[in-house]
Amino acid sequence: MIDFPLLGPTLAFLYGFALYCVFRVLLTYRTSQGALAWIIGLLAFPFITLPLFVLFGRNRFSGYVRARRLGEQSLNYHLTDFEQQTSSLTGADNQHLDDDLKVLCRLTKQPFTTGNECHLLKDGRVIFKALFDAMENAREYILMEFYIVRSDRVGQRVKTILKRKLAQGVKVYFLYDDIGSVLLSKGYLRELSRAGAQVASFGDGNVRRRRFQMNFRNHRKLLICDGEVGFVGGINLGDEYLGTEFDQGRWRDTHCCLRGPAVLGLQLAWLEDWNWANANMPALNWQPAATSRGNQEVLILPTGPADPFETCTLFFLNCINNARQRIWITSPYFVPDFQVVNALQLAALRGVDVRIIIPEKSDGPLVRLAAYSYLVQASRAGIGIYRYQPAFMHQKIILVDDRYAVVSTANLDNRSMRLNFEIMALSTGAEFVRDVEAMLEDDLSACVRMTALDYQDRSLVFRITCRAVRLAAPLL
């Protein structure tokens, strides 16, 4: 018989650590289903479950300081300055807004600002031209934040422009997510750094604080130039977003361009992320100026796992529960939790036109399978789920009645609602809402509506697979 003298202490440590993790689950769980799954796994299979829990079990992003929430001094200074500067460009306490919009201001601690231009940008070539032009016209600084950055043609074009602007004396701050951009070459980053850019990853700059938080991603896509023009939406920096043919076919995406005081809301969100990654406070323009050609009211909504509330989930629920005539949502990934599904069902049952546009072609086969499992629930309530046929649709858009439209980085899935840092731009401008409506009507004309039979008429193996994949929704 082989003797393992350390077996007893090892098992004692293992189960002791597992019990500690169970204690953590009981203190912090958000859904009983997830908590039970972790507890059973930790107690029954600790060898397997403990490493998974360490990497994926946390639901709070510890250490990230949000100025609007926790009062970190240097960031709070900029927040106070931002609020004072924009007070003359907001409605009187936003009293003219509907209650569901007022609550979003309280949720995000940002005001609606007036005097903005908000332009819809459809598809990659148009979007990249606007991004490149804005960078070329920057005079003082360029702030960048993208989930995915590649070293392909688009990435090389970005690097060329940034190096040229650096040579002209423009400051460049380049922030990327180290998980989304895992394939980005170190040489690309070194070349930018040597040219004078300040480069930081959302994780690498804070290894001590970030350890064991691999499940969290900075999914935001931002470009801000001089505090005067800003961009937000679905586009990452890669050739696939050009709209040409790739593995999933042509890509379809949407961004928006902002000018006016709302740009400072984007800038504040960027600064919080930069402070986490770099602990550096660059000198930025905080003097808002209403544009002469724009009068749109815009609200910037940053969300993330450092928030005291599930801000992204509450945002979606607020939109769905307060829709009166219609709510149209586009998302490349449709894996909502039970709260969102119930809210969509209730909206449809009270007569709201509920339409969800998802892609026929997908870069995530598991997510595509999971979406089938919702068809029966959706069909019973009258929710329309439409699959976009010509391309992989990557845009994240929400249209609520004729009242407002949202261009976002957030998907209709658990990862965006609980694990990712996301950001949205909401505009109540009538012209912008009409533009979004026209765009979505065009998209819908290229869709096929799905029915419960698309799920029920498939094989038993297919249906079981879809339901099994749906169980993994929190990780998809």
Q: Are strands 326-330 and 397-400 parallel, antiparallel or unpaired?
A: antiparallel
Domain parsing of the chain, residue ranges: 7-56, 67-101+114-294, 311-475
Distance CA 392, CA 329 (A): 16
Marked catalytic residue, from 123, 178, 226, 435: 226
Structure confidence at residue 85 (pLDDT): 60
C-alpha dist (Å) from residue 82 to 75, 90, 227, 427: 11, 12, 12, 19
CATH class of 311-475: alpha beta
Marked catalytic residue, from 159, 253, 394, 443: 394
Task: Clarify whether 122 is annotated catalytic.
Answer: no
Task: Clarify whether 396 is annotated catalytic.
Answer: yes
Marked catalytic residue, from 98, 401, 402, 454: 401
Do the Cβ atoms of 427 and 433 come closer than 8 Å?
Answer: yes
Retrieve residue 111's tokens.
Answer: 């005001």
Higher pLDDT, 364 or 202: 202
Do the Cβ atoms of 237 and 149 come closer than 8 Å?
Answer: yes
Distance CA 257, CA 407 (A): 10
Structure confidence at residue 69 (pLDDT): 47
Marked catalytic residue, from 255, 273, 396, 443: 396
Marked catalytic residue, from 221, 337, 361, 443: 221
Task: Clarify whether 165 is annotated catalytic.
Answer: no
Determine the angle formed by the axes of helices 262-278 and 73-86, rounding to 10 degrees: 170
Q: Over 90: is that where the pLDDT of 230 sits? A: yes
C-alpha dist (Å) from residue 80 to 72, 73, 86, 111, 392: 12, 10, 10, 12, 42
Q: Over 70: is that where the pLDDT of 30 sits? A: no
Do the Cβ atoms of 230 and 193 come closer than 8 Å?
Answer: no
The reply to whether domains 67-101+114-294 and 311-475 share a CATH topology is yes
C-alpha dihedral over 191, 197, 198, 203, to 10 degrees? -40
Do the Cβ atoms of 221 and 409 come closer than 8 Å?
Answer: yes
Structure confidence at residue 74 (pLDDT): 61
C-alpha count within 13 angstroms, C-beta hemisphere, residue 104: 28
Structure confidence at residue 67 (pLDDT): 46
Task: Clarify whether 394 is annotated catalytic.
Answer: yes
CB neighbour list of residue 422: distance below 8 Å, 6 or more residues apart: 219, 220, 302, 303, 304, 312, 408, 409, 410, 416
Marked catalytic residue, from 165, 219, 255, 361: 219
Alpha helices, DSSP H, located in 359-417 = 365-372, 375-381, 414
Q: Over 60: is that where the pLDDT of 245 sits? A: no
CATH class of 67-101+114-294: alpha beta
The edge-to-edge listing of strands for the beta sheet with 245-246 is 245-246, 249-252, 391-393
Higher pLDDT, 29 or 18: 18
Of the listed ranges 39-53, 338-352, 444-458, the one predicted with least confidence: 39-53
The mean per-residue pLDDT over the stretch 165-185 comes to 93
